[in-house]
Structure 1
Amino acid sequence: MTTIDIRLAEEGDFFGWLPLFEAYCRFYETELDDRKALTVWTWLQDEQHPLRAALAVDAEGTPVGLAHFRAVPDTLSATTGVYLDDLYVTEEVRGSGAGRALIEFVHARSAELGQGGVSWITAADNEPAQALYDRIARRTSWVTYEMDA
C-alpha cells in the first residue's frame, strides 16, 4: 500500500508541482507554456491571491497529486465554501486513495472557512474520476455555461 500525505504546496515545491500541472493540462488537451505555468505558480504563492494548492506526496516526499482550490462566497446560503478548480493524481498512484485524500483535505479547508462545502466540475467523459466523485459527493443538476474572452 502506498503511503500518501497531503499538505499545502510550499515555495520550494515548484519543480515537484510543475510535472503534475503539465500532466493535468495535457489530460484536458490544454497547452501549458512557461508564462502560464509561472503565472499560476505565482498565484499559488501569493497570500493575497485566493488560489491555493494541496499536494499529495509519497513516502519519499515526491509530489504525486495536486488540488488547486479557492474560497468562494455562496450568496444563496450566505456562507463561504471552496471551489476545487483542478485535481490530478499520477497514474502510478490512482486507486490508492490519493484523489479522495486531496478532496477530503480541500473539504476540511472549507470547514475552516465556514459552513460552505466544496464544489467542482469535471469533463462529461472523465468517467474514472466520476466513479470516485459519485461515491463521495452529490452529483448536481446544474448546467455549466462559458463565454470566451
Structure 2
Amino acid sequence: MSTDIRTVEDDDFFGWLPLFEGYCRFYGHELDDAKALIVWNWIRDEHHPLDALIAVDPEGTPIGLAHFRPAPDTLTATTGLYLDDLWVAPDHREGGVGRGLIEAVHARAGQLGGGVSWITADDNEQAQRLYDSLARRTSWVTYEMDA
C-alpha cells in the first residue's frame, strides 16, 4: 500500500484527532476537547514551535502522525528536531508508516543541520524494534518534574 507523508493542513483536524486520541490513550492520558484544541492550535500556529506530519493512505485517510519541534544542541552548536509524538493506527503498523514518518522528520532535521532525538516508554517493545533499526540507543536517563 502506498502512503503519502505530508505536513498537516487546516482541514486535517478530524483525521488527526482520532490518531492523537489513540496516542494519548496508549500512554494513559485522557484527551478532552480542550486539550485537543490546544495541541491542534499549537500545530497550526506558525509562531509556535510544534509542527506535525501525517501519513495518509491512498484514499487520503490519515493513518499516522508525528509531532516534532526544533531542538538546539549546545554540544554540537546545531539545531535538530525533537520527535515528541509518533503514532500509527494499529491496523497500519508493520507496513513502514512509522519508519516513513521518522525518516521524513529526519529529512527536515537535516535541512536545519542537525539530527532527531526522541524517547519512548521502556515497555514499548514494538516501537523499540523500529527505533533500534533507525537510530542509536543512548544511555541517557530521563527525569521529569511535575507542574
Q: TM-score, normalised by structure 1?
A: 0.98
Q: Return the alpha-carbon distance in structure 1 between the equivalents of residues 62 and 15 of structure 2.
A: 6
Q: Secondary structure at the match of 1:117?
A: strand
2:5 corresponds to: 6
Query: In the TM superposition, what is the alpha-carbon distance from 1:72 to its structure 2 partner?
Result: 1.1
Identity of aligned residues (%): 71
Letter paired with 2:144: E
Q: Secondary structure at the match of 1:70?
A: strand
Letter paired with 1:74: D
Q: Return the alpha-carbon distance in structure 1 between the equivalents of residues 146 and 24 of structure 2.
A: 18
Tell me how many residue pairs correspond in the alignment: 147
1:119 corresponds to: 117
Q: 1:141 aligns with which of 117, 139, 142?
A: 139
Post-superposition Cα deviations, 1:74-112, rounded to whole Å, max 9, x if no partner, equal: 011000000000000011110110000000000000011
Q: Return the alpha-carbon distance in structure 2 between the equivalents of residues 50 and 59 of structure 1.
A: 29
Query: In the TM superposition, what is the alpha-carbon distance from 1:40 to its structure 2 partner?
Result: 0.2
Query: In the TM superposition, what is the alpha-carbon distance from 1:113 to its structure 2 partner?
Result: 1.1
CA RMSD of aligned residues (A): 0.5
Post-superposition Cα deviations, 1:108-130, rounded to whole Å, max 9, x if no partner, equal: 0001112x100000000000000
1:42 corresponds to: 41
2:14 corresponds to: 15
The structure 1 segments of at least 4 consecutive aligned residues displaced by more than 4 Å after TM superposition are none
Query: In the TM superposition, what is the alpha-carbon distance from 1:27 to its structure 2 partner?
Result: 0.4
5 Å-filtered alignment, 1:1-149, equals 2-114=1-113, 116-149=114-147
Query: In the TM superposition, what is the alpha-carbon distance from 1:59 to its structure 2 partner?
Result: 0.2
Q: Return the alpha-carbon distance in structure 2 between the equivalents of residues 120 and 72 of structure 1.
A: 11
Query: In the TM superposition, what is the alpha-carbon distance from 1:3 to its structure 2 partner?
Result: 1.1
Unaligned runs of 5+ residues in structure 2 are none
